[in-house]
A and B are shown apart, each in its own frame.
Chain A
Amino acid sequence: MLVRSKYSGSSFSELLDVEFPHLRFENRLLQALPPVGLVAGPSQAAPIPHGTTVLALKYIDGVIVAGDRLATEGYRVASRDVQKVYTTDAHSLIAIAGAAGPCIEMAKLLRIELEHYEKIEGDPLELEGKANKLSQMIRANLPAAMQGLVVVPIFAGYDPRRRVGRLWKYDVTGGRYEEAEFEATGSGGLYARESLKKSWRQGASRDEALRMAVAALLDAADEDRGTGGIDLQRGIYPTLSVCSASGIEEVASTEIAQIHRALLDQRRGAA
């Protein structure tokens, strides 16, 4: 046991670096990486492949984070019901886009990181501090990103000090940009963002914002082959999580189905 630990700080990833470097996924990834191309993504030719579409948008009480469920391996389906939106603690979420393996690992690590800090220090990190920590984790992944294993998440949460929902987007170098309204990333991110640009408005209610999110995912799935739509046959719906002062609520698939149906009816009517 670590009575004479070399590490005495409050960061879990630093603890791994110092005491258990063999458990760090970046270290292992770099040892045996083939050239670009192994990773998930709709197009082998794309220099930075993304397999997924995730988005986050603010609404009146906080922030909504959503993601489709498809993971692709080149042109093939790798998984139809992968999870891309992860709860990192009671008031924050990460939505991941990029190479599935490192992405999921990073989401898992961030959750442990935040929990570890809270337990060691006795107080949770501020929302900004959590966002910044994720920045450092993405930066640590940079060598792997250069070889194609890109991780570009969205981090969102409710800031109890300022009493607002906040969201951040990242680039491969760990660059962190706070967004005022909404953000979408991944292979269908562009289409989702275009969709949100038309529908988003300040002070939208929860239901209104959920409609925007589902519409944006639908638009992304329509244009991008790497984004999964709604699979009625298997009953697979996108993930939608609502984060506000009272915590995080995962929207039930029955409600998503309802929103989806209403949306289709509306579009049919408009046509």
Chain B
Amino acid sequence: MSLPFYVSPEQLMQDKAEYARKGISRGKSIVTLEYGGGVLLLAENPSTSLSKIGEIYDRLAFAGVGKFSEFDQLRKIGVRYADVKGYSYSREDVRARALANAYSQAIGEVFTREMKPLEVEIVVAEVGDDRLAGHENNAIYRVSYDGSISDHQGYCVIGGTVESLQSYLQENYRSALPLGDALKLGIAALERATNGEPKVGAQNLEACVLERQRPGRKFRRLSADELRGILSP
């Protein structure tokens, strides 16, 4: 076989990034919001069994957009990472920053080394615990397809049409909202992505919370009935 034509590294990276972005933009966005009682993660998801949001550990949650098989694999890797860490040290040693960094390393390595980059964007959210001095604050990290990592305060959006959602949240987000208001705000933001079509409601919404006051495992998935209860005036 002959040697392939020369491609500049710059061009190569650009092509990969474009490929990954294209894959991600096909999916729906996910909104992560800090509210009064913890952290809320919201995704438009017509499927009730294939989730985009998952529990990682006591105070940690995961959300992913893009190719399901890829981000679900990342979620499982996160669960393994967290459980091993919690087993060998203490449950309180499992923190979002370390996990997000590990994700960043792993995704970045795939981006540079492999032919095909991961078509994913993920969020790692951590809820604070008032009983642990120094651990009171929430944390939200976003890791992109190329491994770039950023931390966010208040809210974070991942997925295809991030800009319009972000600007909407920038205008309307307030801190320490009650859960119901945070849910409505999140839904209004998600509807931005599709110009309100189709409507986002309890039937096609995946909503999970990390509840600050909950003892032990703070992750909880809100059922459709519960969502209807909160959303109906």
Residue positions of A touching B, CB distance < 8 A: 1-3, 5, 8, 12, 15-16, 19-20, 23, 108-109, 112, 115-116, 119-120, 122
Contacts and interface: CB of A to CB of B under 8 A. Distances in A.
Contacts, number: 50
Contacts of A109: 87
B86 interface: yes
B186 interface: no
A86 to B, nearest CB: 13
A119 B54 CA distance: 8
A248 to B, nearest CB: 12
Interface residues of B, number: 22
B217 A115 contact: yes
A5 B77 contact: yes
B77 A2 contact: yes
Nearest to B221: A122
Nearest to B49: A122
Interface in B79-129: 79-81, 83-84, 86-88, 102-103, 105-106, 109-110
5 contacts: A1-B106, A2-B81, A12-B87, A16-B84, A119-B54
Nearest to A109: B87
A8 B76 CA distance: 9
Contacts of A19: 84
Given A15-B80, A20-B84, A119-B56, A1 B103 contact: yes
Nearest to B79: A119
B80 A3 contact: no
B100 to A, nearest CB: 11
Contacts of A12: 83, 87
B94 to A, nearest CB: 12
Nearest to B51: A122
B138 to A, nearest CB: 21
Contact of A1 (B54, B55, B81, B87): B81
Given A5-B80, A16-B84, A122-B51, 6 more contacts: A1-B102, A19-B84, A115-B217, A120-B79, A120-B80, A122-B54
Contacts of B105: 1
Contact of B76 (A16, A23, A115, A120): A120
B142 to A, nearest CB: 17
A153 B56 CA distance: 29
Nearest to A10: B76
Contacts of A23: 84, 87-88
A112 B87 contact: yes
A112 B103 CA distance: 22
A159 B102 CA distance: 38
Counting chain A CB atoms within 10 Å of each CB, the highest count among B54, B87, B102, B109 belongs to B87
Given A1-B102, A115-B217, A119-B54, A15 B81 contact: no
A108 B89 CA distance: 13
A81 to B, nearest CB: 20
Contacts of A116: 79-80, 83
Nearest to A119: B79
A8 B102 CA distance: 18
Contacts of A119: 54-56, 79, 83
Nearest to A12: B83
A93 B66 CA distance: 39
A23 B103 CA distance: 23
B205 to A, nearest CB: 18
Top 9 A-B residue pairs of the complex, sorted by shortest distance between their CB atoms: A1-B102, A1-B106, A3-B106, A119-B79, A116-B83, A119-B55, A120-B76, A120-B79, A23-B88
B86 A112 contact: yes
Contact of A2 (B55, B56, B80, B110): B80
A54 B217 CA distance: 27
Contacts of B87: 12, 16, 23, 108-109, 112
Contacts of B79: 116, 119-120
Nearest to B105: A1
B44 to A, nearest CB: 19
B82 to A, nearest CB: 9
A119 to B, nearest CB: 5
A16 B84 CA distance: 8
A20 B84 CA distance: 9
Contacts of B106: 1, 3
A119 B76 CA distance: 8
Nearest to B118: A3
A92 to B, nearest CB: 15
